[in-house]
């Protein structure tokens, strides 16, 4: 029987179509079964800190929603960028997720981390912010922020402040405040907030710019809190004004979020968004957030992405104004 080339091509097309249909049918089934094993969550900060505590609480609740454990893995270093790079480089299958520091919008433009957050990350949920503030030792001559500004104007560059690293939120926020106040401080960089705090407590540095590491020391009377940096006053320190209230248009809350590598299957992304929506909005998480002065700032994935895009554009201008690339190059 002679070979019928036309029939052979038709048969190949049919078989090819059946194979494609089978693959297409298999994909939704796999997504429907997600997750089938434990999920790894990359926290880009050391264990025991406020970010670590908040992420552990969220993951515990989300794990119950997903029906699988979420194992938190700390990959600290480079102001959170080591863990963020690891997250962006992982397989986009939903089994590696993690915390996204909003500072990635700054460090990616400076060149500290070689990723593009808008192209390399999927956004699941914005979670909570941080409470930053300016604190001084209890016996400091600066009783109010007005006193601090007056002295800084009278003697530019003589007042020292400790911060947790060049380009980080505490450094950038304090320099924004300095520009708004028309003053110059002597910025002293540390490898983290803990070391900065200790030197201010030891009165080796005049002022501390940090997240709420100062809180227990303010409550015990060892430190005096001059101002916080949020949009609103902090409930635990409701007698302390914000920078905005005092006439400086500076708000720093640095909200963290949860994300994954770019390219998640849509059904997997939806399951993660649904689980973390429940977790972030739960009373259980709110209690943990309140205990570390972390205001809940929930946004679902699409809105969170828009927020990151807007922050990325703002950071472009901020990097230029503060000469951050030059400062980072000098170390």
Determine the Cα–Cα distance for residues 32 and 52; give it in Å rounded to an integer: 30
Tell me the mean pLDDT in the region 117-141. Answer: 96
Helix axes of 266-280 and 50-66: crossing angle, nearest 10 degrees: 120
Assign 30 a pLDDT band (cuts: 50, 70, 90): low
Determine the Cα–Cα distance for residues 248 and 174; give it in Å rounded to an integer: 11
Q: Is the pLDDT of residue 38 over 70?
A: yes
pTM of the model: 0.81
Please give the full DSSP string across 86-120, using - where no structure is assigned: HHHHS-SSSSEEEEE-TTHHHHHHHTSS---HHHH
Residues 262 and 122 sit within 8 Å (Cβ to Cβ): yes
Tell me the mean pLDDT in the region 219-239. Answer: 95
pLDDT at 51: 84
Share of the chain above pLDDT 90, in %: 74
Q: Which two tokens stand for residue 274?
A: 């649904």
Q: Is the pLDDT of residue 128 over 90?
A: yes
Name beta bridge partners: 74: 43
Q: Which two tokens stand for residue 41?
A: 């969550």
Beta strands in 179-266 (DSSP E): 186-189, 207-210, 223-228, 257-261
pLDDT at 329: 73
pLDDT at 164: 85
Give per-residue pLDDT as tens, 143-199.
Answer: 999 999 999 999 999 999 999 888 888 999 999 999 999 999 999 988 778 889 999
Q: Is the pLDDT of residue 17 over 90?
A: no
Determine the Cα–Cα distance for residues 164 and 187; give it in Å rounded to an integer: 10
For 122-174, give the secondary structure using H, E and C: EEEEEEECCCCEEEEECCCCCCCHHHHHHHHHHCCCCCEEEECCCCCHHHHHH
Residues 163 and 170 sit within 8 Å (Cβ to Cβ): yes
When mean pLDDT is compared across 16-20, 86-90, 182-186, 319-323, the lowest value belongs to 16-20
Highest-scoring range by mean pLDDT, 14-18, 21-25, 109-113, 296-300? 296-300
Determine the Cα–Cα distance for residues 171 and 314; give it in Å rounded to an integer: 16
Residues 142 and 151 sit within 8 Å (Cβ to Cβ): yes
Tell me the mean pLDDT in the region 79-108. Answer: 95
Q: Which two tokens stand for residue 98?
A: 């993690």
pLDDT at 157: 95
When mean pLDDT is compared across 12-16, 169-173, 228-232, the lowest value belongs to 12-16
Assign 23 a pLDDT band (cuts: 50, 70, 90): very low
Q: Which two tokens stand for residue 277?
A: 């929506």
Give per-residue pLDDT as tens, 268-315.
Answer: 999 999 999 999 999 999 999 998 889 999 999 999 999 999 999 999
């Amino acid at each position: 029987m002679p070979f019928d080339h036309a029939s052979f091509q038709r048969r190949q097309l049919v078989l090819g179509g059946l194979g494609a249909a089978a693959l297409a049918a298999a994909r939704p089934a796999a997504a429907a079964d997600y997750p089938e094993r434990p999920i790894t969550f990359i926290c880009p900060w050391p264990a025991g800190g406020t970010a670590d505590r908040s992420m552990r609480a969220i993951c515990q609740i989300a794990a119950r929603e997903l029906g699988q454990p979420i194992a938190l893995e700390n990959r600290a270093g480079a102001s959170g960028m080591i863990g963020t790079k690891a997250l962006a480089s992982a397989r986009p299958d939903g089994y590696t997720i993690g915390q996204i520091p909003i500072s990635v919008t700054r460090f990616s433009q400076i060149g500290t981390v070689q990723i593009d957050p808008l192209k390399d990350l999927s956004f699941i949920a914005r979670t909570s912010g941080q409470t930053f503030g300016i604190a001084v030792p209890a016996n400091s001559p600066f009783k109010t922020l007005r006193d601090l500004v007056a002295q800084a104007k009278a003697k530019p560059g003589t007042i020292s402040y400790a911060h947790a690293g060049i380009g980080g939120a505490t450094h950038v926020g304090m320099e924004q405040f300095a520009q708004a106040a028309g003053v110059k401080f002597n910025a002293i960089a540390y490898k983290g907030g803990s070391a900065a705090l200790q030197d201010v407590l030891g009165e080796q540095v005049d002022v501390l710019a940090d997240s709420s590491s100062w809180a227990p020391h303010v409550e015990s009377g060892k430190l005096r809190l001059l101002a916080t940096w949020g949009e609103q006053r902090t409930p635990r320190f409701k007698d302390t004004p914000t920078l905005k209230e005092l006439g400086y248009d500076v708000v720093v809350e640095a909200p963290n979020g949860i994300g994954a590598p770019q390219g998640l299957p849509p059904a997997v992304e939806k399951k993660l968004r649904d689980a973390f929506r429940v977790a972030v909005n739960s009373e259980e998480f709110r209690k943990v957030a309140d205990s570390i002065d972390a205001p809940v700032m929930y946004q679902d994935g699409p809105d969170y992405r828009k927020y990151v895009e807007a922050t990325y554009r703002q950071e472009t201008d901020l990097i230029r104004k503060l000469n951050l690339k030059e400062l980072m190059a000098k170390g």
